[in-house]
Amino acid sequence: MSIITLTSDIGLQDYLVGAMKGQLSQDCPGAQLVDVTHQISPFNLPQATYICKGAFAHFAAGTFHIVLINLFDRKADHVLLAQHNGQYIACADNGLITMIAEGLPGVVVKLPLEKDQPKDTFGILKRFAQAFNDLKSGKKLTDLGEKANEYVIKNNLQPMTGQDYIDGQIIHIDNFENVVVNITRKQFEEQRQHRNFSIFFRRDEVITSLSESYSDVPEGHKLAMFNAAGYLEIAINKGNAAGLFGLQGFRRDQLTSQQNTGYQKLSFYQTVRVIFN
């Protein structure tokens, strides 16, 4: 096990990312440090889940993933380390681990934070580095801390379905402003049942076919496709779908509202509806 990945919502505007990698290079000599991204929208767990799931699937067994998202959601005396699909995921006890694993991971332990050590980003990073080194030395995951029987559980943001429709939510807008919706190819096909479909967004915008790549349509034309991660994507060939159509990503306050009160009709600018006929 020699790879450590880093994912965060810290951004690249200041020294923190460089400092974190410098600290890890000292605490974990010989480990290969790989940035997944540091540009997750602040506190955005659905987006972080999408990014982490898409990236982690391509790493080898034994990879150690450090996910620094919404670290200080609550005052805590521990962080979590989980084993999932043969890899290790280290994160705060904020529900993200169950969202990435789409359920309960195989084994989760609580890594205690020292009472006399700062509980800031670098204190937590050093705790994860210690766990990495313990595993590398041959210790078992369950030797590192108390097995977590109770920890924060959150469910992934799921599309709403009816007999003839799926309502999805925008969970990510990429660097090209392509729009990613929380509808997977599997969910789409199970609901479709070989029927025709229309994808509606931004009031009068509609797409009635799926493309395999952006070049399937003329430059400047809109399209829908399933991306490499298997999620529905709305795009414009060499254009800006999010900006042109006024589409926005899912926000933290909407996630909180949905978890507290159940499904509520959200702004049309975040909703993508697929009608089957």
> What single string gives the DSSP state of each residue in 79-122?
EEEEEETTEEEEE-SSSHHHHHHTS--SEEEEEEPPTTS--SHH
Q: State the pLDDT confidence band at 246, using cuts at 50, 70 and 90.
A: low
Q: Distance between CA 169 and CA 250 in Å, rounded?
A: 7
Burial of 153 (0-12, 13-18, 19+ CB in 10 A): exposed
| Nearest to 72, CA basis, from 8, 145, 13, 140 | 8
Q: Distance between CA 105 and CA 96 in Å, rounded?
A: 11
- Please state, as a whole number, how many other Cβ atoms lie within 10 Å of the Cβ of residue 46: 24
| Numbers of helices and strands, H then E, in the chain | 7, 15
Say what the pLDDT of residue 245 is.
61
If you average pLDDT over every residue of the chain, what do you get?
88
The answer to whether residues 233 and 180 touch, using CB atoms and an 8 Å cutoff, is yes
Q: Residue 260 pLDDT more than 50?
A: no
Tell me the percentage of the chain whose pLDDT exceeds 70.
89
| Nearest to 258, CA basis, from 162, 146, 171, 179 | 171
* Mean predicted confidence (pLDDT) in 141-166: 93
Q: Residue 33 pLDDT more than 80?
A: yes
Say what the pLDDT of residue 265 is.
34
Q: State the pLDDT confidence band at 203, using cuts at 50, 70 and 90.
A: low
Higher pLDDT, 59 or 205: 59
**Range in 5-19, 49-63, 114-128, 231-245 with the lowest mean pLDDT:** 231-245
Collapsing DSSP to helix, strand or coil, 228 comes out as: coil
The answer to whether residues 155 and 101 touch, using CB atoms and an 8 Å cutoff, is no
Say what the pLDDT of residue 1 is.
56
Residue 232 host element (H or E)? strand 231-236
Q: Distance between CA 199 and CA 178 in Å, rounded?
A: 15
Q: Distance between CA 112 and CA 128 in Å, rounded?
A: 10
Q: Distance between CA 131 and CA 128 in Å, rounded?
A: 5
Q: Distance between CA 262 and CA 269 in Å, rounded?
A: 19
Residue with tokens 């929208």: 41
Q: Distance between CA 179 and CA 244 in Å, rounded?
A: 11
pLDDT tens track for 92-151:
999 999 999 999 998 999 999 988 777 899 999 999 999 999 999 999 999 999 999 999
Say what the pLDDT of residue 76 is.
84
* Mean predicted confidence (pLDDT) in 157-174: 92
Sorted by where each starts, the structural domains of the chain and their CATH numbers stand as 3-147 (3.40.50.10790), 160-276 (2.40.30.90)
Q: Residue 204 pLDDT more than 60?
A: yes
Higher pLDDT, 14 or 264: 14
Say what the pLDDT of residue 101 is.
95
